[in-house]
Structure 1
Amino acid sequence: MDKQKSAGSISVTAIDVAPRVKPSNYPEPFASRVKGREKRQLGDIFGINNFGVNLTKLFPGSESALLHRHSKQDEFIYILEGAPTLIADNEEILMAPGDCAGFPAAGFAHQLVNRTEKVVVYLEIGDRTPGDEGSYPKDDLKASLGPDGNWQFTHKDGTSY
């Protein structure tokens, strides 16, 4: 029996899901730091609302996100291809296919960086707890999840970008 391939299906081939149109929610000058990231929002095509699942590619020299932590949301990553470097607070860990990492709310600040010449592919899974805030220890940025489900970004002192 063939799998159906349209939105609303029970099964799709992940790589066939179109990449997210807006590459980043970050304001500049931060958005350009993740320009080599491509996300396919797998959970959204099934109407999953309580958590997100992304098939993400990091091209050589790219960052997954700014170094960050969430106040209320948990995150999990699973490496499918490539060898990214996981930066967690001040520790760096070289990862490989089959490796995974989890980040409980208010835990380690984290990001992936692709320092290789090959594309990195991984799954990222995170919940969508209302009232979450993102903190960025190395950047003048603060994120708040609005009631509409969209991220609002300000400087750490609360002024707008």
Structure 2
Amino acid sequence: MPVIDPAKVPVKTGSIYPEPYAGMMKGRSSLRHWHLNEDEFVMVTEGECTLVQDAGETVMRPGDCAAFPAGSTDGHHFINRSDRVARFLVVGTKAPREVATYSDVDLRVEIEGGKARFTYRDGQDWTGPR
């Protein structure tokens, strides 16, 4: 595998969330979530992040890593509570079909063939917060 040139890696910003969540997460991380089919690995590369999970919070610093196996319903996300820039690397398995459930809001997303479909947790099409 060739060495990755950081200067050539595309920067991904923004969100696929529907409103109002897209606006709430602008410039931030993600809603607290868990994946049905994808394993996820995170490594903090700069600054300080707080990992929020069902059982509580853990402060993470450069070099600290966390792993979230597919199917574990322990929702997670990272928050920067400092006044400094924080960065982290996220690696996922990119399952052909994925379902992510958001722990703190009535929202889930089904992703297949590069298309996202948002629903409520009961599977009904999402039309906005209820």
- TM superposition score normalised by structure 1: 0.70
Quick check: 1:72 aligned with 2:37?
yes
Task: Label 1:30 to 1:15 Cα distance change in 2 as closer, same or farther (>3 A).
Answer: farther
59, 82, 102: which is aligned to 1:136? Answer: 102
Letter in 1 for 2:78: L
46, 56, 64: which is aligned to 1:81? Answer: 46
The equivalent residue for 1:117 is 83
Quick check: 1:35 aligned with 2:26?
yes
Which consecutive residues of structure 1, in runs of 5 or more, have no partner in the other structure? Answer: 1-9, 37-61
The equivalent residue for 2:5 is 13
Identity of aligned residues (%): 36
Q: Residues 16-62 of structure 1: CA distance to partner in whole angstroms, max 9, x if unpaired?
A: 43423x610110111122211xxxxxxxxxxxxxxxxxxxxxxxxx3
Give the drift of 1:13: 2.6
- Secondary structure of residue in 2 paired with 1:159: coil
* Higher relative contact order, structure no. (Cα contacts within 8 Å, ≥ 6 residues apart): 2
Are the counterparts in 1 of residues 107 and 126 from structure 2 also a CA contact under 8 Å? Answer: no
- Secondary structure of residue in 1 paired with 2:71: coil
Give the drift of 1:149: 2.2
Report how many residues are paired.
124
Partners of 2:23 and 2:81 in 1: CA distance:
17
Task: Label 1:120 to 1:154 Cα distance change in 2 as closer, same or farther (>3 A).
Answer: same
Quick check: 1:156 aligned with 2:121?
yes
Give the drift of 1:12: 4.6
